Amino acid sequence: MTSIDNLFLMTLSGQSESGTVPPEGRRIIVPAGQHVDISLLLLHGNADIHVVLTGKQASCRIQTLYLSCQNNRNNLNLEVIHESPETTSEQIIKGIVTDTAHTAFHGIIRMPHQAQQCVGSQNHRAVLLTPQAVVMATPELEIYADDVQCAHGSAIGALDTAALFYLMSRGIAEKTARHILLQAMINDSLPPSFEPVVQEWMAQHA
Amino acid sequence: MALLTIENLCARVGDKEILKDFSLTINPGEVHVIMGPNGSGKSTLANVIAGHPAYEVTGGRLMFKDRDVLKMTPDERANIGIFLAFQSPTELPGVGSALFLKTALNAKRQAAGEKDIDAVSFMRRLRPRATALGITDDMLKRALNVGFSGGEKKRMEMLQMAFLEPDFCMLDEIDSGLDIDALHTVSQAVNIMRESHRSFLLITHFQRLLNDITPDYIHIMMDGRIVKTGDKTLAATLEEKGYDIYR
């Protein structure tokens, strides 16, 4: 178990809440015309977040970074339910997994019959730093409405060896080159207040 | 003392032998050109010298400034003065071009026991070189090579060379994909950098690169080794007669 904690930051209707990730599931209701911003840094254990967009023009943006090392086992569940028409959601999930760690990511966007003219997106990208690291991703869309825009994508792989060589061929040491590429991947996906924890993790494990 | 000495170098990718007893000596201040048909091993040679991990060296020696390069990592090679301008430069999404240049220069300075460059000196070093190569501030703000045209990528390679000032510059088909004006700009960048302590190895298919750059030697490479060495007139002979007479 690492000493640094999971981090959670949420802003809804101008009210901010920050702390660690609640281990039990968290259900966040977003009423009409409101926007919620959720940032999550998962370093160990599980996170289970459900966002329900209950009124027109409700929207959410969920940014998640999971960093997993040693023999950790993590589960990340994200669910967005577009209960009302004309709602918008965006999920950006990134991960770095090393050693023999194992992360399971499950993300779903639900758009029931009444969820017309909704827009939803979910983008997941993870880098495996060792051959033994594992990410299992199950991105899902459950769509019953016929007038919606919905997209999801998931990419998991090792660091780009060509990019690594390119940086090293300019004199940059391998560890620094790796950090540059990882930092580039997770760029802009988290609030600045999470940065020191991310840097500490990278220095120790990446 | 030779800057670079290659003796009987053998290298392969997977099971395929590409360099076969390749030998070449480059002295300080010299410009060498390697020409040869596709698949003769020209790019492999450059990548092996730079330390690309995909190539396995199976025999021979590679000495640079009297040091055994084969034992060094790519970054160590770069920091003692070896530079490769790539044929197809890699795109690095999320890595800002200017920050990349600064990181690379500081890595070189740290390896030499010097302190990091300050912001003012960095811009003073970067700006005139960028201007000379037609690289705009906008390009320097963008992620390295991402969305750059073929010509822009080649000019960015030349900027890195001019900025890092290596002692040995390998240019792998720097002329491919360049229009006449860009080719002239790139040639000028090489000519400006020609100095008594710096050497060049140019890999090309075309004589036109040599309109502006006058080499000391031209080598013809076939099947993993040099089969003919001549002066600058060899390029014209090749252009006229092709490679068949050397096969």
Residue of B nearest to A166 (CA): B90
Taking contacts as CB-CB distances below 8 angstroms, the residues of chain B near A174 are: 73, 75
Min CA distance, B236 vs chain A (Å)? 33
Q: What are phi and psi of B17, to 5 degrees?
A: -75, 125
- The strand order across the sheet containing B4-13 reads B16-26, B4-13, B56-64, B67-68
Q: Is the pLDDT of residue A2 over 50?
A: no
pLDDT of residue A4: 65
| Rounded average pLDDT over A122-133 | 97
| Residue B85 lies in domain | 4-43+53-91+152-206+216-246
Between chain A and chain B, how many beta carbons pairs sit less than 8 Å apart?
A: 69
Phi, psi for B109 (deg, rounded to 5): -65, -40
* Pairwise CB contact (< 8 Å): A169 & B108: no
**Listed residue (A76, A151, A115, A168) closest to B90, CA to CA:** A168
| CA–CA gap between residue B80 and residue A9 (Å, rounded) | 46
Task: Please state the rounded mean pLDDT for residues B178-183.
Answer: 88
Helices (H) and strands (E) in chain A, counts: 3, 12
Amino acid residing at B36 = G
Does residue B78 form part of some domain?
A: yes
pLDDT of residue B100: 96
Q: What is the predicted pLDDT for the residue at B240?
A: 87
For residue range A12-69, list pLDDT tens digits in order: 888 888 887 766 688 999 999 999 999 999 998 899 999 999 999 999 999 999 999 9
Per the structure, how many domains does chain B have?
Answer: 1
Banded model confidence at residue A1, pLDDT cuts 50, 70, 90: very low
C-beta atoms of B90 and A180 within 8 A? no
Q: Where are the beta strands (DSSP E) in A69-171?
A: 73-82, 88-97, 102-111, 119-128, 134-143, 149-157
Q: In Å, what is the CA distance from B220 to each residue of B32, B37, B234? A: 11, 9, 9
Return the percentage of chain A with pLDDT > 90, whole number. Answer: 81
Residue B107 to residue B113: CA distance in whole angstroms: 10
Nearest by CB to residue B92, choosing from A173, A174, A184, is A184
| Residues 6 or more apart in contact with residue B121 via CB below 8 angstroms | none
The answer to whether residue B121 sits within a structural domain is no
The CATH number assigned to the domain holding B58 equals 3.40.50.300
pLDDT at A147: 97
Q: How many CA within 13 A on the CB side of residue A93?
A: 30
Helix runs in chain B, H state only: 42-50, 74-79, 97-111, 119-132, 137-141, 150-164, 180-193, 233-241
Is B111 in CB contact (< 8 Å) with chain A? yes
Could A170 and B160 be called an inter-chain contact, meaning their C-beta atoms sit closer than 8 Å? yes
- Alpha carbon of B185: minimum distance to chain A alpha carbons (Å): 22
